[in-house]
Structure 1
Amino acid sequence: MSQMAKELSTKEVVSKIEKENVQLIDIRPIAAYNGWALEGEQRGGHIPGAKSIPLQWTGYMDWVEVLEEKNITKNLPIIIYGYSGNTASTMAHKMRELGYGELFIYNSFVTEWSADEALSLEQLARYQQLVYPDWVNQLIKGNTPPKYDNDDFVICHSHYDNIEDYHRGHIPGAIPIDTNSLESTETWNRRSPDELKETLEKLGIHHDTTVVLYGRFSAPTFNEEKFPGKSAGHLGALRCAAIMLYAGVNDVRILNGGITSWETKQLPLSTEAISPTPINDFGADIPGCPEIMIDPPEAKELLAADDGDLVSIRSWEEFIGERSGYHYIKKKGRIPGAIFGNCGSDAYHMENYRNFDHTMREFQEVEQAWKEGGIIADKHIAFYCGTGWRGSEAFWNAWLMGWPNVSVYDGGWYQWCNNPNNPVETGIPEQAPKSQKTMAQ
């Protein structure tokens, strides 16, 4: 039998954090780490400096890789905390089997740490807009979930010209939303204000409606699929969410992890097709938040400004011009002066912004990667990609963090490269900082 991990008091945890180089691991669900009080704690959030490694993840074969990715070393002491002593002890046992030696458990997070205003907690600034499966389940059952005071909601199952994905199984009560209803099929830019108004009214969405969006991710393969976007429904959901926020929907929420998180909780799916209940008037002028989307003139202003940056959320191969990233885009290269913000392997994957269960990556990790690449909250940051999907997901990361001035350059590479008067660059930019170049590794 392996050696038991020592239990620490709150005073001992505080002392170790102040005096020693310790590693903290928060094994609670990601929602709790972000700020949701799931077990009645007086304050939500996590102990500053803690890494999020939910105990649930240990059920995946490749969970050990997460320890390496988060730089959890065997050379420093580790403090593990969760909602109960049993879960912390279970994680300690699993880590000891992997060769981690100096392990401690802390069991008083709820009763003491969260109850003491003198002890710091960190949380995602807009965590309430990133909801979890049980929150949505409470909503559809007619209960009132936390941080919700509305009586009008619509749940949207996002897809790109793939209604079969909705019929395959969706959250009960959800209506389908085709990304094409919010994007032009010619330019892939957001539709006009009049078109957005018509779409939202047909969907029964008022500017005061709470809208919950999610999609399904089905591992699209660029080389084998003519329309890979049809398998990237959750990425499409984040695109729809950004456009709705731009239009002026006041309460837009994302189901963290999409339908994968719902299925992981073994919650029921429905195949009953739900028709929206149209309304007569959106109730506000569109766009309600015009600053969220920018076009070429504003993008060029950012490129020339000292207090703004255009950030490319594309793969390294796209950024340096080795491939365009899309079947329908022939030109290769990047917008000169843009900063590399990375995404993942291709135009339909966002590995560097997600955990392996498709939940959003720990927000401090994203912020640190951006900082190393020169992307900071003090500037006006506009994210772009090929046509807006990946740029929208990066935007949501920054917006949820509470960054004050973030946008999506809506037209992206597709719009830029189709204008022969716009300059284009290829190759590794000489002025790029080393950290920017290594983000692709």
Structure 2
Amino acid sequence: MRTQNHPDYLVSTQWLASALSDRDVLVFDCTTRIVPDERTIYRTEPVIDRFLAGHIPGAQFVDVQKDFSDSTHRYKFMLPPADQFAERASAFGIEPGKTVVLYSTMDPWWATRVWWLLRVFGHERVVVLDGGFDKWAAEQRPVETGPALPREPGRFTVRFNPRMVASRDEVLAAIGSDAVCTISARLPSQFAGIDGNTYGRPGRIPGSVNVPAASLLDAETKTYLPLDVLRERFAHLPVADRRVIAYCGHGIAASADAFVLAMLGYDNVAIYDASLSEWAADHSLPIEVG
């Protein structure tokens, strides 16, 4: 179902520059890099070195895997238990009344992943910085170096929203259903099963359609495309009157699709959290290529 647009989920560097002195505005760098690895195809690591070299004044650094993922799960970047998330969010000073601003360098979907996590656990006042640190630095705005400055802890309040999370069983039941639109956020060649990490088997969830996360951005500036252009990216899909489930490899790039759909006013959007890391590894589940 589509309600009103929410362009306010995305904030400009100019807006943030004017809000940095506000004690109720908390800024976080969520940058993670993907590193090729002969044994595991790739690995992920937090980009703390780049944060130490320069970050937006007052920002804290979030290690998405360590701070906001379930460290006991067999798959990476899985939704953590509510009490674990609340403990970490509180340690970062996040609590009701605080506006959380998220950014990343390079791939912006690390910021949208944390945006989704905070929304899942009930924090409404959370936004993404358009263009991330790349745009901030390009505009020669002030930066800090070194470790993050100490911040008073908060008291995060959990209000879990299960409608924003899709399970394997729900995705399986959605195949062939006229009530669900399943969207892959992977690149077209990965969607077709031609290249990229296969997570065990190449291809896509049957019946799913492709809206690559990268297609939602300006390739040079890494800023999001105008709202009317973003609307066109989804105009050919039956998202208006259906539940939408987004997926990718680990539920990271899928968060960019979910974020844009939320900006466009669609309020029945979920992420298949385990995504292809679970689906492709389970040979009992169907998969399509080509």
TM-score normalised according to structure 2 size: 0.86
**What is residue 251 of structure 1 aligned with on the other side?**
125
Q: Secondary structure at the match of 1:187?
A: coil
**What are the within-5 Å matches in structure 2 for residues 149-188 of structure 1?**
152-160=24-32, 161-180=46-65, 181-184=67-70, 186-188=74-76
Pick the aligned partner of 1:141 from 21, 28, 33. Answer: 21
1:360 deviation in Å?
Answer: 0.5
Alpha-carbon distance in structure 1 between the residues aligned to 2:273 and 2:173: 15
Residue number in structure 1 paired with 2:41: none
Q: Is 295-304 or 249-258 further displaced after alignment? A: 295-304
- 2:250 corresponds in structure 1 to 387
2:241 match: secondary structure: coil
What are the Cα deviations for residues 185-215 of structure 1, in whole angstroms up to 9, with x where unaligned?
A: 5412221212211211111111432100001
Find the counterpart in structure 2 of residue 19 from structure 1.
Answer: none
AA at the equivalent of 2:126: V
Larger mean CA deviation between 273-282 and 399-408 belongs to 273-282
SS at match of 1:383: strand
Higher relative contact order (CA 8 A, sep 6+): 2
Q: Equivalent of 1:199, from 84, 88, 107?
A: 88
Aligned mates of 1:284, 1:366 — CA distance in 2: 31
Q: In structure 2, do the counterparts of structure 1 residues 247 and 184 end up closer, same or farther at CA, with 3 Å as the change threshold? A: same
Please give the secondary structure, in 1, of the residue aligned with 2:103. Answer: strand
The answer as to 2:208 corresponding to 1:208 is no
CA distance in 1, matches of 2:167, 2:150: 32
Matched, 1:412 2:272: no
Task: Output one character per residue of 1:257-301: Cα deviation in whole Å (capped at 9) or x when no partner.
Answer: 11122123221111042245353631334x2x2211211122223
| Number of equivalences | 269
- Pick the aligned partner of 2:231 from 367, 374, 389: 367
Conservation of the 8 A alpha-carbon contact between 1:239 and 1:393 = yes
2:181 paired residue number: 309
Q: 1:329 aligns with which of 199, 207, 217?
A: 199
**Counterpart amino acid of 2:151?**
T
Does the 8 Å contact 1:193/1:247 carry over to 2?
Answer: yes
How do 1:43-54 residues align onto structure 2 when only pairs under 5 Å count?
A: none
Which one-letter code corresponds to 1:371 in the other structure?
A: A
For the Cα contact (< 8 Å) 2:200–2:280, is it kept in 1? no
TM-score, normalised by the number of residues in structure 1 = 0.58
Name the CA distance, whole Å, in 2 between partners of 1:264 and 1:125: 29
Could you tell me how far apart the structure 2 residues matched to 1:363 and 1:136 are? 20
After superposition, the C-alpha distances for 1:14-34 in whole angstroms (9 at most, x for unaligned) are xxxxxxxxxxxxxxxxxxxxx
Q: Distance in 1 between matches of 2:158 and 2:205?
A: 35
Pairwise CA distance, 1:166:
0.8
Matched letter for residue 13 of structure 2: P
- For structure 2, list consecutive stretches of 5 or more residues without a partner in the other structure: 33-45
CA distance in 2: counterparts of 1:276 and 1:338, whole angstroms: 45
Does the residue aligned with 1:369 lie in a helix, a strand or coil? helix
Write the mapping of 1:31-110 to structure 2, written as runs, cut at 5 A.
none
Residue pair 2:92, 2:154 contacting (<8 A) in 1 also: no
1:259-338 matched pairs, under 5 angstroms: 259-277=133-151, 279=153, 281-285=155-159, 287=160, 289-323=161-195, 325-326=196-197, 329-338=199-208
Taking only aligned residues, the RMSD between alpha carbons, in angstroms, comes to 2.0
Residue 253 of structure 2 aligns to a residue whose secondary structure is helix
Q: Given the alignment, which residue of 203, 213, 216 partners 1:353? A: 216
One-letter identity of the residue aligned with 2:172:
K
* 1:402 correspondence with 2:265: yes
Measured at CA, do residues 415 and 201 of structure 1 come closer, stay the same or move farther in structure 2, by a change above 3 Å? same
